[in-house]
Amino acid sequence: MRLPLGTLVAILPFYLEAVLAQAQGSGKTTRYWDCCKPSCAWPRKGNSPQPVLTCDKNDRPLSDGGNTKSGCENGGNAFMCSSQSPWAVNDTLAYGWAAVNIAGSNEATWCCACYELTFTSGPVSGKKMVVQATNTGGDLGNNHFDIAMPGGGVGIFNACTNQYGAPPNGWGERYGGVTSKSACANFPAALKAGCNWRYDWFQGADNPNVNFRQVACPAAITEKSKCVRQRDSIDQTPTGPKEVPTWTP
């Protein structure tokens, strides 16, 4: 079929959008919870009018325009809010947040973008999780989702000692965190549910692989992070209800 030039010009933007629309591919996961202010919580990362919400030492939301020094630094008082802990939507779907590195992309593009992960290995194989990118990481490889879960290990940085009086290397191992659900029982109240999630919905999975594709964020996620990307290669209007309760079996 030959289309008139005018038609081609008219449909070209839609064609390009379809091609460029979504980051997708296969990748790996790890886990962390370092209590630090996530990178996308600084102003003007990504294209959201508001940076990712952070909290003070007592887990109270800051309204600082993203300008408070990170709790990872001396004297800093911006920490990751416990409300950015993962939760189960139903038996096969969870919502949460992650530090991200997408091959061939950059922080400006992924800050506050959402990705639907389909786990492809381990006990959660076949389950899905939608994560919003709130962070990046110098130690992340390509197509890497470092899923935020309390007790997942502090990694390079540790603000959990400042915020919650955690041990010097965080709870459990510095990389990987606690090693059993029983450890979650001694967690600060605000972090218990997120720690338990790892052993309930996530079935104690140990860094499962994923297939991923970019999606518009669920409103239930952006409602908690306050970070909403403006239209870019996809329509970023948040989808679904603003509140999605935690599913319990």
Ligand X SMILES: *[C@@H]1O[C@H](CO)[C@@H](O)[C@H](O)[C@H]1NC(C)=O
The CB-of-93 to ligand X minimum distance in angstroms stands at 4
Binding of ligand X by 91 (CB under 6 A): yes
* Residues 93-152 interacting with ligand X (rule: CB under 6 A): 93
The CB-of-52 to ligand X minimum distance in angstroms stands at 23
Query: Chain-centre distance of CA 32, in angstroms?
Result: 10
The CB-of-150 to ligand X minimum distance in angstroms stands at 23
Give strand pairing partners of 131. 96, 115
Give strand pairing partners of 8. none
Q: Using alpha carbons, select from 139, 50, 54 the residue that is nearest to residue 97.
A: 54
Beta strand extents in 126-247 (DSSP E only): 128-135, 144-148, 210-215
Complex with ligand X: residue 129 or 191, whichever CB lies closer: 129
Binding of ligand X by 92 (CB under 6 A): yes
Distant-in-sequence, close-in-space partners of 209: CB < 8 Å, separation ≥ 6: 26, 27, 28, 29, 119, 120, 121
Complex with ligand X: residue 175 or 247, whichever CB lies closer: 247
Q: CB nearest ligand X: which residue?
A: 90
Complex with ligand X: residue 150 or 218, whichever CB lies closer: 218
Instruction: Tell me the three state secondary structure of residue 192.
Output: helix
34 catalytic? Reply is yes
Binding of ligand X by 246 (CB under 6 A): no
